[in-house]
Structure 1
């Protein structure tokens, strides 16, 4: 019985805190903050009490309650249905639109439609600082389901690393179960980076923008009528057809689904209360907020609420900034505000008015929908001229709650509980619609603590970059706190800020500064995965560098300009490779080398590092086009350069080790094993010297280089391969104990390499144990992420099967081989370029084993023929090292054929191998 169908009982008990468990999925947890995200089976909402809804009309706008029946958006729903039913097994779609456009409602309707179609539907909620589902166990197995749909709301606010963890969850990677991930977001800025992460899982990707409602009154009128009828039923109004829209629905203000619903809700509530509804969107919003105030007052005066409306107002304002979260941090937040009432009492009374949607210990449930909460923040902050009372305490409260980090180790009140990002995001969203919020409130806070924008995360940086009135000097102050290199969870936001700053910087830039601007824009866009947008920046950097070269009047100026041109061409080559324009990438890399040589001639010995990096980039570009012999010559030159540099300056020793390792792999492909061993051993020696002074800084690289050296020694038939391979395994075993997620895959690879080394040393039982462990580790990883680990599991299983033959376990070995070769054929059919050469190696190994069996001739012949067919498709791309493999495997098969008087088949096999290899 498989794990998927085995009966499972899970019981979660908690004494204080939050308890949560899953069946059929992975659970990612922060050691100090609970789950990174929570998975919960989607369930349609239960009907709230109509009287409770009417007390505060805004409750009816909460998409969680689904008060309004789904109307319109039929085309968009049909697009989602088609996406669900076609394409690869795993696919993700980024559904984006401004807040209030109806993404959540559309996703909920699609979820219900998917359940009706027999799909399992699961929602993912980001853990820190958000509403979590009630504690308990979630059974997320897909027994009998036609597929799995995972819905991720606020996807653009998740840190990229957290989304990456979610996308690797075993829930999405069950063999044979179609899986769809629907990610909801306000913008598409993060999508390229997420799409790049999904490429590791061989997932289909697409984006879908939810457009504004057309400005004709047809669809808007239909939506208004549906919403009016839904609201009127809760109020008990029977003649709702006579209720007219409060303003012209064709006006720009009513382009959002939420705006139409607000108009319908206010119109119905105004009929119920005998009031006249406002006609514009600002007035409708204020009407709803007035109803909130009325409810607070009624609770205080008539139902014994202990905190007065003024305190409730400030608490609701606080909740809009913080969002919901555990009660203990919420208590600390309120205590920091010096309210007149005890914080515990305030939280109790606030929960009566705004009941928590999550666990019982959750507090500070905010206003919903988000857009209403954003408007409430803006209207409560002084500086507007709307007919709504701003509060003097609002600005200092905001400053207290969003007190940002003054030095790198300080995270501020809200950052400690994961809410700094929400507070900044909501203020930035409010600033887009209310012109006083940015200049009078948000921007002064950021001037006091520009680092807080960086601490708030990528989504906040992107939102700030989108604001029309943000001053460049403020963005410059924020950008001054950017880390210099890559930072996965900040790359998208940093790119948005740098792109926004570029025109301002270019207006005052001289030519060298212009080059720097384009180079930084290109680097930040490249780090964010936006390679299409990166390309113009890289091209402009090259053009600026050429102008620097042309305008140089002194030897020093020419030298600096040539160095800039070398770097920009190298970066352009890398970008073009990302865009699969490898011919152009080679041209750029070749020019980079030519320019670097000119620099090196102008100042002999002073710029060998730049030349070495350029030559290495050229070698990679040649290799990407299959020109391995030329790439080998370039790598040898790069190694020679860095060997001389390292002899003069130890700072270059790590570069030397990296280039030596690349050279060793290339020499192996060129069937030069003795030289491959020599350079790989030198690389390990370099890293050992570095590790002597700083073991922690170099332990990962040393483990990797030991693994490479063990492979080179094994391929050369050297007896010391077993000891080196064992050292690599132990190094990775220790790393995996410290961080299993990062290092278990490499541990499996090291074990797979160790097995043959031990076997050749006459230690077959130890070899089998290493290979069995490798298969066990990869089996576990492949269950979670088949796209990434299934090929390696197949390969490791086949290596194990080969040594089971030597141990006399032929029946088990044959069973494994037939099963795994069939699995690899499926991979080759799906992506020939990625898998066919490796499959050819596996087939040749299988042929060699079969040729030694009494009844294995036909299986061996079929395997060699299949390998030939794979390599004959593109003979020029076949690595030289394959030639010897084909010759050796073919010789063994032909000997068996000749013994059986099958001379014609033997001759045919000889001719095909000779045509491919030239041997």
Structure 2
């Protein structure tokens, strides 16, 4: 008896390793007592078995945990057959606990059957006596939804029990908020998460908001116990809001509040809260960037990088991948402004370095991320006029994405075409290497042309871009006549868009096509034909400069076009 009590106290204090020792000895004693008097001691043995099983699961002794839980269920099933009115609640609890042990040990699908059996028993008990059994029934619905949500094949089935758990706990919390608000918040949190995982983002938002409101009240009453879970709720609420353009801007405030709370918690206990703070900083920076608040995203992303650097130094295996994610995004935010563009190179290179190492060890998991970082780094090097450095980076990106198309052609072929396009563009900039540019440009065009036939709305703008790059590459080789067919094809796509086709061609691509066409005509000595497309290019560049004054490249191209127009007008 004393051993069982000490074990239970250790268990409640979450000293599970210590509890296992006491409960193991208590289990052995109870078995001896059952041997002498089964009727008197068998249910008490089941109590100890369940506690012992829970503690074994907590310390990673999976096989022992499940065996102890199964033995407890077997005992109580036998007792319930003899005296159902007394032992059915005990059997339901044993099944509920066995399911928990199975899930805790990573056997989520195995947990579903005992969980469902416990749920059905508790449903019948609650129908007969709601006051006594509805709290336990809500616990079964909550846990059952959790086990279903662990597998993609049963995820959608988790919504209904999750909703039932919320419905019961709402009712219980209205009558006794002090006892049931915390449980209701957990069920709301899980339901919102599962709805979001089922791509039902808009339905997740009000559920997550309810969870935030409850946890805010709980945190006001007891900050030490509830601020961490409030921060988690705010973090997730912001995440769900960010999934829709209609609510993206609303995500910033809860994100900022989550960061504020987690900063405070991390100052007091960095070991427990630094990783959570980094997650919230990462999301806040991403959402600020998505709201075109790029300069605000930069210091937030830098803080995230600094924290994840420290975490990765302590445990590289656990934190290097997320550090690479942070560096990748930080480089992106820096690259959005001409004043910080040059600063983007170093974090971009570090992201590539980490992801290269991770991809060597696990290409299946990290090749795609590595390709993304290579693509961005190449773009930023090119934007800094470091074209020769951009080429091998872009080439590596092409090689990886070509390999990825063998795994998933639909996803990676457009990305391969994009990488081929930038490779061609960079080669065309380098003296002595322009002749290498048409080949990747042509491959990019072939891919985008095929994709545009399948889905014009999605791919026609990319086709126009790649046609411009191909013509631009040929111009740089002095092959002006060869450049005319692709550039005219691109301009025909633009003309059809202006006449009402369903696809859209960006001003960036249409201005480039007009400018490239002018360069082809001038190269062929057909200056008299160049003025009309040149004036069109000037109009579009003026629009771009007005819309994006911070992008110096548009002002430069506008200036070049105006100078060329003056020369053509003067006949020089």
766-775 vs 578-587, greater mean Cα deviation: 578-587
The correspondence for 1:722, drawn from 381, 384, 391, is 391
Is it true that 1:759 corresponds to 2:433 in the alignment? no
RMSD: 3.7
Query: What do the CA deviations read for 1:441-470 (whole angstroms, capped 9, x no partner)?
Result: xxxxxxxx9959999xxxxxxxxxxxxx9x
Does structure 2 conserve the Cα–Cα contact (< 8 Å) formed by 1:841 and 1:867?
no
Q: Distance in 1 between matches of 2:361 and 2:519?
A: 52
The correspondence for 2:207, drawn from 537, 551, 554, is 537
Change (3 A) 1:552 1:490: same
Is it true that 1:736 corresponds to 2:410 in the alignment? no
SS at match of 1:720: helix
Change (3 A) 1:871 1:899: closer
Q: Distance in 1 between matches of 2:234 and 2:314?
A: 27
Does structure 2 conserve the Cα–Cα contact (< 8 Å) formed by 1:840 and 1:868?
no
Displacement of 1:581? 2.5
- State the partner residue of 2:557: 889
Q: How does 1:148-163 map to 2 (within 5 A)?
A: none
- State the partner residue of 1:498: 162
Higher relative contact order (CA 8 A, sep 6+): 1
Change (3 A) 1:453 1:792: farther
Is it true that 1:594 corresponds to 2:260 in the alignment? yes
Is it true that 1:698 corresponds to 2:366 in the alignment? yes
Q: Distance in 1 between matches of 2:313 and 2:326?
A: 15
SS at match of 2:478: coil
More strand by percentage: 1
SS at match of 1:710: helix
Is it true that 1:641 corresponds to 2:307 in the alignment? yes
- State the partner residue of 2:219: 549
Displacement of 1:841? 5.2
The correspondence for 2:540, drawn from 853, 862, 866, is 866
Displacement of 1:681? 0.7
SS at match of 1:482: helix
Does structure 1 conserve the Cα–Cα contact (< 8 Å) formed by 2:265 and 2:273?
yes
Change (3 A) 1:793 1:844: closer
Unpaired runs of 5+ residues, structure 1, are 1-448, 456-468, 903-919
The correspondence for 2:334, drawn from 667, 675, 678, is 667
Q: Distance in 2 between matches of 1:450 and 1:598?
A: 35
Q: Distance in 1 between matches of 2:283 and 2:501?
A: 27
Q: Distance in 2 between matches of 1:591 and 1:863?
A: 46
Change (3 A) 1:574 1:835: farther
Is it true that 1:682 corresponds to 2:356 in the alignment? no
SS at match of 2:242: helix
Displacement of 1:825? 6.4
Q: Distance in 2 between matches of 1:900 and 1:733?
A: 44
With the length of structure 2 as denominator, give the TM-score of the two structures.
0.66
SS at match of 2:351: helix
Q: Distance in 2 between matches of 1:653 and 1:607?
A: 17
- State the partner residue of 1:570: 235
Is it true that 1:769 corresponds to 2:439 in the alignment? yes
Is it true that 1:613 corresponds to 2:279 in the alignment? yes
Runs of at least 4 residues off by over 4 Å: 449-455, 471-478, 824-832
The correspondence for 2:480, drawn from 807, 810, 820, is 810
- State the partner residue of 1:156: none
Query: What do the CA deviations read for 1:714-737 (whole angstroms, capped 9, x no partner)?
Result: 222322222121111111112212
Displacement of 1:843? 0.9
Change (3 A) 1:482 1:814: same
Alignment size in residue pairs? 430
Query: What do the CA deviations read for 1:836-880 (whole angstroms, capped 9, x no partner)?
Result: 7x42355146426625825234422321212323563xx3xx273
Does structure 2 conserve the Cα–Cα contact (< 8 Å) formed by 1:664 and 1:680?
yes
Change (3 A) 1:658 1:473: closer
Does structure 2 conserve the Cα–Cα contact (< 8 Å) formed by 1:642 and 1:656?
yes
Q: Distance in 2 between matches of 1:897 and 1:644?
A: 56
Change (3 A) 1:619 1:738: closer
With the length of structure 1 as denominator, give the TM-score of the two structures.
0.43
- State the partner residue of 1:329: none
Query: What do the CA deviations read for 1:558-600 (whole angstroms, capped 9, x no partner)?
Result: xxx2222222222222322334123322222222222222222
